[in-house]
Each structure stands twice: as structure tokens, then as C-alpha cells.
Chain A
Amino acid sequence: MSTLPKKLRLATVWLGGCSGCHMSFLDLDEFLIELVAKVDIVYGPLVDAKTFPENVDICLVEGAVTNVENLELARDIRINSKIVISFGDCAVTGNITSMRNRIPVKDLLTAVYHEAQAPIGAEALKVLPALLKKALPLHQAIKVDLFLPGCPPVPDRIATAVTALLNNQPVNLQPEMRTFG
């Protein structure tokens, strides 16, 4: 047993985004079966874990940082992960999630909600996380080690990056794998 190589600890995180990057991750399809033989998925939408764990080797972060809870989690991720990857265009640039940035938060909320009961103001913030003034790309909140662009990054791109990391190789994305959109 002790001769088996130690499994790497992989986390995936979903901040302000659409989950499309995670869906593209699932599009690895049967490669997922090989992958879970080599890594333990220790945190993320696909597993049950309550808090961000310690000693994570690789963390894929989808989405922009849009509210105070995202910001706190981003800090937890950085403290506990060796390699943090901005996973997809929302994490890399803000992308669609940041399209709200030109509009003040209060105007956004009052435009979307109309009634007296709307989730706006001090009462709402007791249970709901406050929105940041602007949705931020991940590297504006924490230091990022690797950028994996795409909306979403196609499975080949994800497989290339993850395989290199698993083999302790530098991630060398060819130009066609570095495109947005």
C-alpha cells in the first residue's frame, strides 16, 4: 500500500458564474474515472465538504468574486492551496458576471425587485451576503498561479492543464488553447 504514490488533493470552487466551467469539467467524461483514481476531490460542488480544507494541491476556481462571501472564500482558498487556477473567463476577466459593474448595486437591486418586501437593505443583509460594488476577476482578490481562459474552457484544455500538473510538469498551453470565449 505504501508504495502507491500519494494522491493529489484537488478542489473545485464555484464563485459568481454560471457553472458552465464545472459542466465542461464534467465533459471530461470517462477521463473523470481515471482522474478520481489519481486525485481526491476534497472540496467542490461534486462532493460533501463543509469548509475549505487544508493542504489542497490544486484548486480550480470558476467565477468572479461578486459578494463578501466570495471574497472570504477566495482568501481561504489562497491560504490553503498550493496552486490556484483561474478557471474560465469569469475568473480570468470578470466576463459576463462583471457586466453589472457599470450599474450601482442599489440601482440593480431596485430594478430587479419591485415590492416592499424586496431583499434590499439592513434586514436583508442579516441573512444575505452583501454584493461587492463590482464583480472582480479572481486575481484582483488573491494571487493566481495559472489562468485557464474560455467560456467555458473546453474539456481538452482542462485535461491538458490538469494532466501536466498531475505529472508535475509546467503547464504549456498552445496559443489556440489560450483564447477567450
Chain B
Amino acid sequence: MSKIVTIEPVTRIEGHAKISIMLDDAGKVADTRFHVTEFRGFEKFCVGRSFWEMPGITARICGICPVSHLMASSKAGDMILGVRTPAPAVALRRLMNYGQMVQSHALSFFLLSGPDLILGMDADPAQRNMAGLIATNPDLARAGIRMRAFGQHLIRTLGDRSVHPSWTVPGGVRKSLTAEQRDEILKQLPEMYATVDIGLDLMKDALDKFSDEVDAYGEFPSLFMGLVGEDGGLEHYDGKLRMIDSDGKLLENSAKPEDYATLIAEAEQNWSYLKFPYYKPLGPENGMYRVGPLARLNVCDFAGTPLADRELRQFRHYGGHGKPVTGSFYYHYARLIEILHSLERIEEILADEILLDHHIRSKAGVNQNIGIGISEAPRGTLIHHYEVDDNGILEKVNLIIATGQNNLAMNKTVKQLAERFISGDKLDQGLLNRVEHGIRVYDPCLSCSTHEAGRMPMQIKLISAQGELLDEIQRG
């Protein structure tokens, strides 16, 4: 008798996603689906508005990574203006972007996944959250909160507010940094380096603690995509697109962001509001790729900052000689290395006198009708593509969102976890959190296509093909 298991992270609140697991007659997993159930329609309702408004509007796609949308949108605007964005403005934008990387990754690692990694996958669900972490590991929780606060503070210092700052604009940025502000940020860096060290130790403990099951959280071959700098180094703001396969072979090495449409196509399914992007030349079956911290560390030749490079060498041992790291559990590790790298870059940029240069914005009108802006969001490559008339009114908007690009991989991860942990007609309580964690490793930001962050309340139902409820467990 075949059955469907529905894992419903209550599609009503933030969990605008749910999971179906189809079992065959023998009780084995036949198929799984990760459904995204929220729809917002930015690509349509922005048509008819001015591209000048787009940084402000598209930041509201996501409250977790508004800065990524500000970057991609402003860069699309830069291209429409067709003028050179002043170097100090680019440095300031990079600075804010690294601030966001720190806050977003700190949130994911310390406050959202931390409870699983530190308290354990089988810990009491009532305790396995931020409040539980504060109760049991107060110093660690405080350090994580302070690290997130540091990133938010940097964003606020530049843009007056931490969420949805009106600061980057087509052509540059609105406001520079004073020497006092710069020094005040610099003063906080030693504490942040110490916190990332604590995180790295915890991560290595977690890899030992979960060594029996690390390979269940999305260990499979796939392609990886991310920006790299002109020199092949780790990059988050601008550069060229690189795509590698699971053996580390280069499929694309110097694709221009403007050519993204030759690389990426999007499939759709009638059971999810989230599209399924794939690498076009290989088709939807073989073209599955991953983006985000894991992918960025896999595609880059080096990090380019000393501490992160030292850690990256260790990280690469998990892939094998010349090969990428293919287990999604290592997203956590990659996130910490990116925090470290971001702190080093923040220090580097703050030491640069260019920041105090007053020329931070180039002014122009519409000189091009197409603008394509790219940035690496915490969760992966983000692309904004606008087409405007001569007055700057939008005629077409296409947004390729980071989390969406991991959609195929998230589905595959759910399947892998289900195959490992589900069989027959009985469900195990520990399964709940493991499947949930399988999605959490991607730190999905369904805000960006929908919304979702943090912990998904869950209900698992085991239903027979006849619709009979065989078993049910809930958490909460």
C-alpha cells in the first residue's frame, strides 16, 4: 500500500513551505517534494514604476538580506545610467555588504542552527531554540547576538538603519563614513575575531559529534555557481560567474553577469510557488547547481585574506584533492569561514583612506535601457534584471533569487534524509528535526521568493493511499 507522508511546517506562518514524502508499497521512499507556498509577485507589480525606486522596493523582498537587494538593484541602476560608479562608493558598498554577510551568517549559525548543533538534534524541542541556548549557554548566546549586532551596527552606521537602509542608489551611495565612525567599528573587531574562533571550534566539534550522519544532509554531486574576482578569488560584490561540476571541472569560468540568461533557465512545478533554476546547457535533469557559502568556497581559487585562507585549506580536505566539498552540512562551516573573511575585508576596507573621499555618487539620466545587477547574497548569487524605457519606467523585471537556485538541491536533500530516516509506517520523533535541519543547512531565505527563516513548526502525517491517517506526530 503506497502512502504519502506530509511534513507540514505549518504553511500558515513563516513556514511557507511544507514537505511531502511519498512511500511505495514496500514502505520505501519513492519521491519527496519541498513545497514553497508563498507568492508575492514583485516581478509583475514593479512594472510601470521607476528604476530609481527599485532599491527601496526590492529591499522589502527580504528583511534578512535587504542589503543584497540594495546592491543588485543599485548595480542594475548603475548600468542603466551607464556611468562609472566612483571608487569610494564601491568601497563603501562592499563594506556594507560584508557587514550584512556577518550579521546574516551569525544569525544562521549561532541563533538558528546553533541550538541543533550545540544542544543536539534530539534535544527537547521546547529547549532547542534561542531561549534554550541563552539558558544553557549564556556566554555563547550573547557572543552570537553581539556578532549579529556588530554586522547590523555597521549597516546602521552607513545607512542610518539596519533593516532597509535608504543608502545605495544608482550611481553610488548617499552618505560616506566619518573617521570617528570608522574608528568605532575598528574597535569592535578583536571581539568579533574571538567569536568566530569560538564558532569554528564549535563547528569542528559538531563535525565529530554528527560524523555518523553528516552525509545524510545533502551529500551528492551537483554543480556549484558563484562570483569570483578577476583573479579567481572569493568575491561577494562584483566579478565574473564561475560554474564547476562535482569533480571540480570548470564549466564556466568568465561568464559576465549580463549573460546570466545563457547559463540559467528556470523550470516550474505545479506544486510549488518557488521556481527551479538549472544550468541551461545541461538541462533540468543534470543541471542542478548549488549556490551560497558552500558553492562560493568551492568555486573560488582562494579566499584572499590570510585567516580565511588558512581555514579554507582545512575545509578543502572534506572534498578531496581538487574536488569540491559536496555535503550540504558543510554550509555551516563555509558560513563561518565567510564571517572570518568578511571581518578581514572590513578591516582592510576601513584602513583605506579612499573611504574619506567625498566623491561618492555619479549623477546621470537613463543612458541604457537594460540594467543587470548581480551580487552574492549571504545565501548565494542574486541577479536583478531591469528593462526600462527612455524615462526610466520599468517594462520588464526579472529577479533570480539566491535561495531559489538551491531549490533542486533542497528537494534532493529532503529525499536523501527521508530515505535515510523514514521507512515503514512508523515515524520517529528525531526525524522531524533532522529533516528540518536538512533544509536549515541552506539557511533558506524564502522571504526572498516568499519568506522563511528560522525554525519551522512541524507536523508529520503518515497517510495511506486511501487517505487513512496511519500515524501522526507533532511538535510544540
Contact = CB atoms under 8 A, between A and B. Distances in A.
B273 to A, nearest CB: 5
A50 B459 contact: yes
A14 B62 CA distance: 13
A171 interface: no
Interface stretch (B34-42, B192-200, B373-381): B34-42
B418 to A, nearest CB: 17
A45 B13 contact: yes
A97 B38 CA distance: 12
Contact of A117 (B41, B135, B268): B268
A103 B41 contact: yes
A18 B445 CA distance: 10
A152 B63 contact: yes
Nearest to B160: A154
Contact of B145 (A33, A107, A120): A33
Contacts of B111: 26, 46
A51 B476 contact: yes
A107 B44 contact: yes
B57 interface: yes
A127 interface: yes
A20 B164 contact: yes
B45 A102 contact: yes
A50 B447 contact: no
Contact residue range for chain B? 35 or more
A72 interface: yes
B281 interface: no
A50 B12 contact: no
Interface stretch (A108-116, A136-144, A161-169): A108-116
Interface stretch (B71-79, B298-306, B355-363, B450-458): B450-458
A124 interface: yes
B52 to A, nearest CB: 16
Interface in B207-236: none
Interface in B416-453: 447, 451, 453
A25 to B, nearest CB: 10
Contacts of B125: 48
Given A23-B63, A119-B271, A152-B164, A30 B145 contact: yes
B271 A124 contact: yes
Given A21-B63, A127-B35, A152-B164, A47 B44 contact: no
B131 A50 contact: no
A23 B64 contact: yes
Given A26-B107, A96-B57, A112-B43, A47 B455 contact: yes
B13 A18 contact: no
A119 B269 contact: yes
A19 B138 contact: no
Given A41-B131, A69-B37, A73-B13, A48 B455 contact: yes
A117 B273 contact: no
B43 A69 contact: no
A5 interface: no
B455 A46 contact: yes
B283 to A, nearest CB: 14
Interface in B31-73: 35, 37-41, 43-46, 57, 60-64, 66
User: Closest 3 CB pairs between A and B?
Assistant: A20-B63, A49-B476, A50-B476
Given A23-B163, A151-B164, 7 more contacts: A22-B453, A41-B129, A47-B131, A96-B60, A119-B268, A119-B269, A152-B63
Interface of B: 10-14, 18, 20, 35, 37-41, 43-46, 57, 60-64, 66, 107, 111, 125-126, 128-131, 134-135, 138, 141-142, 145-146, 148-149, 152, 161-164, 267-273, 275, 447, 451, 453-455, 457-459, 474-476
28 contacts: A13-B14, A15-B13, A18-B61, A19-B453, A20-B164, A23-B64, A23-B162, A24-B63, A24-B162, A27-B149, A27-B152, A32-B134, A33-B138, A33-B141, A45-B14, A47-B130, A51-B474, A51-B476, A66-B39, A67-B37, A69-B37, A96-B60, A100-B44, A114-B268, A119-B269, A128-B37, A129-B37, A152-B163
Interface of A: 13-24, 26-27, 29-30, 32-33, 36, 40-41, 43-51, 53, 66-67, 69-70, 72-73, 95-97, 99-100, 102-103, 107-109, 111-115, 117-121, 123-124, 127-129, 131, 151-152, 154
